[in-house]
Copies of this chain bind each other. A is one copy, B any other.
Amino acid sequence: MSLDAVLARLDADLEAATARLFDLLRIPSISTDPAHKPDVRRAAEWLRDDLAAIGFAAELHDTPGHPMVVGQIDGPGPHLLFYGHYDVQPVDPLSLWDRDPFDPELQDTPRGKVIRARGAADDKGQLMTFLEACRAIKAETGRLPCKITVFFEGEEESGSPSLVPYLKERGDPLKADLALICDTGLFAEGVPAIVTQLRGLLGEEMTITGPRIDLHSGMYGGMAMNPIRVLTQILGGLHDAQGRVQVPGFYDGVEDISADLRAQWQGLGFDAGGFLGDVGLAQPAGETGRMPLEMLWSRPTGEINGIWGGYTGAGFKTVLPAQASAKVSFRLVAGQDPLNLRAAFRAWVEAQLPADCTIAWTDHGASPASRMDISHPAFCIARAALSQEWPGEAAFIGGGGSIPVAGYFKDILGMDSLLAGFGKDDDAIHSPNEKYDLDSFHRGMRAWARILTGIAAA
């Protein structure tokens, strides 16, 4: 059976694969730093060349920012799009690194061998798991089992400014039956995961204006409207005592998770106490009667992310300010329409404004939640593949945040995504001394080989 041969080849080739990854890690492709623009391009070129070496037709597509790398190879099975990003975070503060961030090293640690370098986990090591799987399959069987398009971005760590325009203008060739995104992590040590739902986000900024100018509370206090008071009264009522958001219609369309998913999530043994304890908290603060993973993954939230008004310096000033402001965001789940909720939130606030106040709004974006159609056979296949590679059974999990590219693939290309990645919580992505476990790298490439083979056979 050819899968076994492919897996054996991946095992035998691990040292060479690691050396290839090191070559990529040596390129300081920091996308946010203009001084590294040539390096970012060099990383793109390295990937183009490696894709070509495997057998892909590969090229760079220039953008106003950094280039997209696109590679394509035919195969008999369904068309799959694989996404990763080849840019990395800055390395400051350099003094906190134990060695040069761009001089990768394989290190022995009490928890096993790790690949130490900026980008090892985010995302160069992860994307290379897929290329190594493709390389081994091609070498062993002479072809890929599916038609595969690879799409690597070089701006993920700097806000992806070119991504949406690119997908809109040149995205057609990327349209596949399913996107595979490798930029996430294991659920826990030994427990792989596929993210099947991601919360959306609605961001709003509000500024309430009362008097025309700042007033002195000795002269006006008790008679003049204080916009901070108005703001706190309104936002203080955003949640009820059960933690439910009070904007009318907020929960319309929100469904409870299925019994099956509930059972899976309960089976994950999530340590809410440890999760909160790490940041100095003890009590889950979401809606009462919900289990912690529901609070994080499948329930919408309202949060005040910033608030300001009046005098905030040292000492005291008895000012009644003219204005008070807040930034408010809502994490959204499937069934909630961001634009309807924006209108509902604004209406709810404005209905509470006293006659003497006005309000100005700033729109800080609205993206819907995504919930993958897990009836697609790839989900079942991927779950089985991951379960075979790691000790624990793979879980379908949610994500509390958003992974914008998954939303763009859905919105612009009409394509669902399967998010599977092999990072660990202690990988220190975005931080000094980033690492990727050699074990993640190795099992990851074996898992992709199983997934591609499985999807082709389905």
List chain A positions with a Cβ less than 8 A from chain B.
199, 201, 203, 205, 210-213, 215-226, 228-229, 231-239, 272, 275-276, 279-287, 292, 295-296, 299-301, 303-312, 315-321, 324-327, 329, 331, 354-356, 364-365, 399-402
Docked-complex contact B312 and A306, CB < 8 angstroms: yes
Docked-complex contact B327 and A211, CB < 8 angstroms: no
Query: Measured between C-beta atoms, what is the minimum distance from A252 to chain B in Å?
Result: 18
Query: Measured between C-beta atoms, what is the minimum distance from A227 to chain B in Å?
Result: 9
18 sampled A-B residue pairs with Cβ under 8 A: A213-B280, A217-B303, A217-B401, A219-B296, A222-B301, A224-B285, A225-B285, A226-B285, A226-B304, A228-B305, A228-B326, A229-B239, A303-B318, A305-B321, A307-B324, A308-B309, A310-B327, A316-B365
Docked-complex contact B303 and A311, CB < 8 angstroms: no
Docked-complex contact B283 and A354, CB < 8 angstroms: yes
Query: Measured between C-beta atoms, what is the minimum distance from A329 to chain B in Å?
Result: 6
Task: Say which residue of B272, B285, B305, B316 sits within 8 Å of A317 (CB atoms).
Answer: B305
Number of copies: 2
Tell me the complex Cα distance, A222–B243, Å.
9
Task: Say which residue of B212, B218, B316, B364 sits within 8 Å of A400 (CB atoms).
Answer: B218
Docked-complex contact A217 and B301, CB < 8 angstroms: yes
Query: Measured between C-beta atoms, what is the minimum distance from A199 to chain B in Å?
Result: 7
Tell me the complex Cα distance, A233–B243, Å.
12
List, in ascending order, chain B residues with CB within 8 A of A220's CB.
Answer: 279, 296, 400
Docked-complex contact A310 and B312, CB < 8 angstroms: no
Nearest residue in B to A217 (C-beta to C-beta)?
B303
Nearest residue in B to A365 (C-beta to C-beta)?
B316
Tell me the complex Cα distance, A217–B66, Å.
29
List, in ascending order, chain B residues with CB within 8 A of A238's CB.
Answer: 229, 232
List, in ascending order, chain B residues with CB within 8 A of A234's CB.
Answer: 236
Nearest residue in B to A214 (C-beta to C-beta)?
B279
Tell me the complex Cα distance, A57–B306, Å.
61
